[in-house]
Structure 1
Amino acid sequence: MPTLYLREQGAVLRKVGERLVVTKGEEVLEDVPIIHVDQVVVMGNVQLTTPAVALLLRKEVDVVFLSSRGRFRGRLVTTGSKFARLRHAQLRMLDEEKAVLAVARELVAAKLINQAHLLERLGARRAAREIERDVRKARRASSLDGLRGHEGAAGARYFAALRRLIPSEWGFVKRTYHPPPDPVNALLSLGYTLLLKDAVAAAQLVGLDPYLGFFHALDYGRPSLALDLIEPFRPLVDGLVLGWIVERKVSPRDFRPARREDGAVLLDDEARTRYFRAYERQME
């Protein structure tokens, strides 16, 4: 169990010796040795006792907090970065416009190449050729705004091609972020959030600041570098979602309306557990 997902609302994570024990009332939901856990993902209203937090910090287990809907909230981190020079170099690089554009172009190009490969595998060869042309345009972009324009246009073509591969019963029209109005968008958003929490952890692990990115604009509370880093990997999530739909591993009946009246839909608990496992396998 490399990743322990805590999804049961009202549950409590406790330390018992060198074990992590998850309880709700008198019921024990999970009981695992700390040595078997690389990451803990806390979703929504789940409590962590102080001894449990201390154990997780001492063992350097990554702890990620998501909302009950699956949106990224933050991470539990130990003492400050020991990589001051690396972070200083990152800051200096952000002041060099040519360097920023060069990094951003390669990130976008890598994403588009992987999108084209996925479309090719799915038999959408014409759309794949169009995305390949977008790769060349992205690599010739002379500004970040121009690059974002190419990326946005390619994204519209890409999701239009995916829509034609998805049965109409799924109600997928276009990529919609917040809130996800249909099951396909809900699966995509949840998968991208899982990518994001891994990218934040990876950046901090090597000493980079996950909030100082190149392609994504800097904004309060936005992990811009982590968002940059997941761009080339988004097609992995897309492929997982398409595979689930085509192989009938999930159906529209596995979703329910969110409690908030904003039109969002959520994956039910049983299917979400399977989705987390599928994501972990996809990333291996």
Structure 2
Amino acid sequence: MDTLYINHKNACLTIHQGRLVVGQADASQTFSLELLKRVVIGTTVDLNSSVVHCLVAKGIGLHFQSSRLNTTPVSVMAEPVANVCRRQGQYYCIANKELSFRLARALVRYKLTRQSLWLKSINQAELSDKMSAILTSLNQISPDKGLLLNLEGQGAKQVYRAMQLILPASLEFTGRNRRPPLDPVNALLSLGATGLYQQAILSLCSRGLDCYAGVFHAPCHGRASLACDLTDCFRPELEAFVVDLFIRNIINKSHFFWRKKVECVLNREGQRIWYPLWYRFSKQVEKKMGVTTLKWALGAEGWIRSPH
């Protein structure tokens, strides 16, 4: 396994003879740095700057996640690949209003098409037909990001409606909510989206792209907007993955607790089940992200070398 998830509170992280040592009160485990690609920390741990420096120097992404309200996920990684032509091309695409809209519409079309296929696969014909109508409208709208956002939102409503119809009523899922997630389904959707977002940052930076300069998500202080664009491409797969876990009763309501009677969070048993399954899912997504970001990078570079 090339990804290490740490959820043991107050674990102590050190480096010893080329291995990452995760020490706890009663035991310690070691992991070869040569095999690791990323370390994901979901709780309070003890580590110093030398550990951070060692991990980053070896190209190992260090990610901090938290289910707590208003806590932003943080990623620490090496300097991104310095490909000036790709970034110049990326900025050219964003600055060109017509081209930027075409790219953003293509991204939304891809997402809605994937969601439409999922609706068909679960025999939600009526909602699938509504999604098809949204896709038709998508091809006819004028270059207006506001209209694009509206259609993307309409598509999401069809997906969440389908989820309400097929998920157990005991989960109390009534639609998307976050910060904090109020029910088990939203808790996993938020946790998964955070994981995809951090994967997207790594994938984009490895291709020499600016993960903060997006085409659908407008540039915003403190947000990796292009990583949000890339994450959106894989939300349909995340939604299907989460729904499948609940439908097959692999994860259920007993695997969660409510912090301060509001915020829904995975408990220890839930984490034990979730992370191995998430790892397998995320590895599949990682390969697809690699293909997508390579296409984006070569496309951006092409625009600056031979602008149309």
Alpha-carbon distance, 1:80 to partner: 5.3
Please give the per-residue CA displacement for 1:9-68, whole angstroms capped at 9, x wherever unaligned. Answer: 21121101111111124531x311112211111223223333322321232112112125
CA distance in 2, matches of 1:168, 1:26: 41
Unmatched tracts of structure 2, length 5 or more:
285-308
Please give the per-residue CA displacement for 1:165-192, whole angstroms capped at 9, x wherever unaligned. Answer: 1111110011112211111111111111
Alpha-carbon distance, 1:264 to partner: 1.1
Q: Find the counterpart in structure 2 of residue 22 from structure 1.
A: 22
Q: Find the counterpart in structure 2 of residue 76 from structure 1.
A: 76
Q: Using a 3 Å threshold, how does the CA distance of structure 1 residues 165 and 101 change in structure 2: closer, same or farther?
A: same
CA distance in 2, matches of 1:54, 1:222: 24
Q: Find the counterpart in structure 2 of residue 61 from structure 1.
A: 60
Secondary structure of the corresponding residue to residue 216 of structure 2: coil
Q: Find the counterpart in structure 2 of residue 254 from structure 1.
A: 255
Secondary structure of the corresponding residue to residue 62 of structure 2: strand
Alpha-carbon distance, 1:249 to partner: 0.5
* Matched AA of 1:157: Q
Q: Using a 3 Å threshold, how does the CA distance of structure 1 residues 131 and 22 change in structure 2: closer, same or farther?
A: same
Q: Find the counterpart in structure 1 of residue 148 from structure 2.
A: 147
Once the two structures are overlaid, the 10-residue window that deviates more, 194-203 or 87-96, is 87-96
* Matched AA of 2:27: E
Please give the per-residue CA displacement for 1:250-280, whole angstroms capped at 9, x wherever unaligned. Answer: 1111111125x6x211011221232122122
After TM superposition, the score normalised by the length of structure 2 is 0.86
Alpha-carbon distance, 1:69 to partner: 4.0
Question: Does the 8 Å contact 1:40/1:64 carry over to 2?
Answer: yes
CA distance in 1, matches of 2:79, 2:139: 39
* Matched AA of 2:221: Y
Secondary structure of the corresponding residue to residue 73 of structure 2: strand
Please give the per-residue CA displacement for 1:72-130, whole angstroms capped at 9, x wherever unaligned. Answer: 52221223541222222222221101111111111111111111111111121221122
Secondary structure of the corresponding residue to residue 176 of structure 1: coil
After TM superposition, the score normalised by the length of structure 1 is 0.93
* Matched AA of 1:132: S
Identity between Structure 1 and Structure 2 (%): 27
Question: Does the 8 Å contact 1:12/1:49 carry over to 2?
Answer: no
Q: Find the counterpart in structure 2 of residue 96 from structure 1.
A: 96
CA distance in 1, matches of 2:230, 2:80: 22
Once the two structures are overlaid, the 10-residue window that deviates more, 162-171 or 5-14, is 5-14
C-alpha RMSD over aligned residues: 1.8
User: Is 1:180 matched up with 2:175?
Assistant: no
Question: Does the 8 Å contact 1:9/1:45 carry over to 2?
Answer: yes
Q: Find the counterpart in structure 2 of residue 87 from structure 1.
A: 87
Question: Does the 8 Å contact 1:111/1:233 carry over to 2?
Answer: yes
Secondary structure of the corresponding residue to residue 75 of structure 1: strand
User: Is 1:43 matched up with 2:42?
Assistant: yes
* Matched AA of 2:277: A
CA distance in 1, matches of 2:26, 2:274: 28
User: Is 1:226 matched up with 2:227?
Assistant: yes
Unmatched tracts of structure 1, length 5 or more:
none
Q: Find the counterpart in structure 1 of residue 135 from structure 2.
A: 135
CA distance in 1, matches of 2:166, 2:26: 47
Q: Find the counterpart in structure 2 of residue 235 from structure 1.
A: 236
Question: Does the 8 Å contact 1:112/1:232 carry over to 2?
Answer: no
